[in-house]
Structure 1
């Protein structure tokens, strides 16, 4: 079979190599899956660079999110078991982690539903306790993680403000349903959000970026607001001033979605059921902006790492729907 392999750490387009390899052999409690589509995530770039919290042994295959097919013909979504990632014709996964792919979504959309939407659901509903009528601010609203949060926020009845970088991404954020869109390249984010909220700020701020985005979040948290720390795609991990959180009466809430797979796996299944229902009634639908063949995976990972994409990029294999 064909599979992308990383033999040394570095930039994805430099260290990912497409090779002919043997199909992986499932271990105890695992299943073999034919990959139908694999979603490209920022963690794939971090894996290539050796900067992710999980460091599989070299060589490994990146690809942390797939829609695949079991040997008995079931269409499923799952996070593959590294080092056998999803940028390959076949992969393996823990049987307990396999979830049915929503019928309302095609393979590329289904592959993009898992990590980003589970992160959004857990972040907004479990950690930040977003309520209908509240204001949600989403940084990088046109990206893969941000676009999921925008759709989930709208489905929850929130007013959504999307912060993006550039006119093209601003147009995407509007199409996703943002009530207000702020282009950080053309506007003062803090001033624009203050104006849009009558000076109050946002009740929940969804931040997968860190760095300057977090600094803006601290200035924009409303009374009893919640800043949801999801990741640091901007490359800088902020050091929050806790006295500021005390004086302004807001919360800083962290989210590591992967922990739920071991600490509370039943809740992951419940979340998937909620997401499947939302997809069935059209309330959410992953924005797949680009579909590439397996041969294009390395370039796609590099493009996502550089922040040059909107929504999701999916690697689609032959025979996918």
Structure 2
């Protein structure tokens, strides 16, 4: 097999495309011949030694991928060789093959494209858990999505619309705002050029959004929270801007609002049945055309550094996918 190997997590430049022994699956694992893998923000952090999970060295980055099972461990009964699957293994995806625990694998229904499947589990699993489980989003409520043109942002627009909510998309350029409206957002705010709070007040008739979906953090967090509706829910999804904000605790008090943490990875580990049910619902929605990953571009796996560079320059709209 071939893989991008991280032997020293000092950044993307230290990754090496190498030939390695093809691994054999352990008793509870399957081996996947990878057709496509997507690039997520944690994949950037993990090779910079900045992510909360620090795998033992050396490791192959790439948290999320899709392909065909070509070997099955002795204890695995529900999966078989030749089956198309997607997987969220945390690492291992930027390669031609990977072994992954069988419970982290999602069988793909017929017609589920590998490129889409590779860009699906993390962003859509996170967002379904955030909006429908943690925020208990109801039909007719208004959701503000920050960083709305990114991977989780575009997923949030689609899932909120599938739940019959109204969506306001916040993004940093007119082009990104246009993309958000194209995939279903009811309105958009360019927070690089518009008065963010004033525009949000205008779009919600002064009420504010019921749910704020925030994968960005940084200096957007406080003005967004100051605009939240009574009994609003502020979803802490991530910190793509880099800075972890500190909100004054009088704000949730005055708004009767909640600050709600979203940690999908631990949810999937602690509540596997609930996570499996959510992924099954998402697969149905995909088949019905309600959700579909927005793919910025696909690149051959050996061009991973180019993909990382594009992600680091904040140019990406949706997801980047690497293919074998």
CA contact (8 A) 1:139 1:209 kept: yes
Aligned to 2:182: 175
SS at match of 2:232: strand
Aligned to 2:51: 52
CA contact (8 A) 2:2 2:96 kept: yes
102 and 162 in structure 1: CA distance in 2 versus 1, 3 angstrom threshold: farther
Aligned ranges 1:266-281 → 2 under 5 Å? 266-281=273-288
CA contact (8 A) 2:64 2:90 kept: no
What's the TM-score, normalizing by structure 2?
0.94
Aligned to 1:235: 242
SS at match of 2:5: strand
- Unpaired stretches in structure 1, ≥5 consecutive residues: none
How far apart, CA to CA, are the structure 1 residues paired with 2:53 and 2:309?
A: 19
Shift of 1:80: 2.4
How far apart, CA to CA, are the structure 1 residues paired with 2:111 and 2:32?
A: 21
Higher relative contact order (CA 8 A, sep 6+): 1
Aligned residue pairs total 314
Aligned to 1:2: 2
How far apart, CA to CA, are the structure 2 residues paired with 1:77 and 1:182?
A: 34
Q: Deviations over 1:217-267 (max 9, x none)?
A: 211210100000000011011112111110121110001001122211001
How far apart, CA to CA, are the structure 2 residues paired with 1:195 and 1:63?
A: 41
Pairing 1:203–2:202 present: no
- Unpaired stretches in structure 2, ≥5 consecutive residues: 71-80
How far apart, CA to CA, are the structure 1 residues paired with 2:87 and 2:40?
A: 14
CA contact (8 A) 1:104 1:279 kept: no
How far apart, CA to CA, are the structure 2 residues paired with 1:157 and 1:26?
A: 43
Aligned to 2:78: none
Structure 1 runs (4+) greater than 4 angstroms displaced? none
CA contact (8 A) 1:81 1:93 kept: no
CA contact (8 A) 1:81 1:94 kept: no
Aligned to 1:221: 228
Aligned to 1:76: 85
Aligned to 1:126: 133
Pairing 1:61–2:60 present: yes
Shift of 1:81: 5.7
CA contact (8 A) 1:45 1:302 kept: no
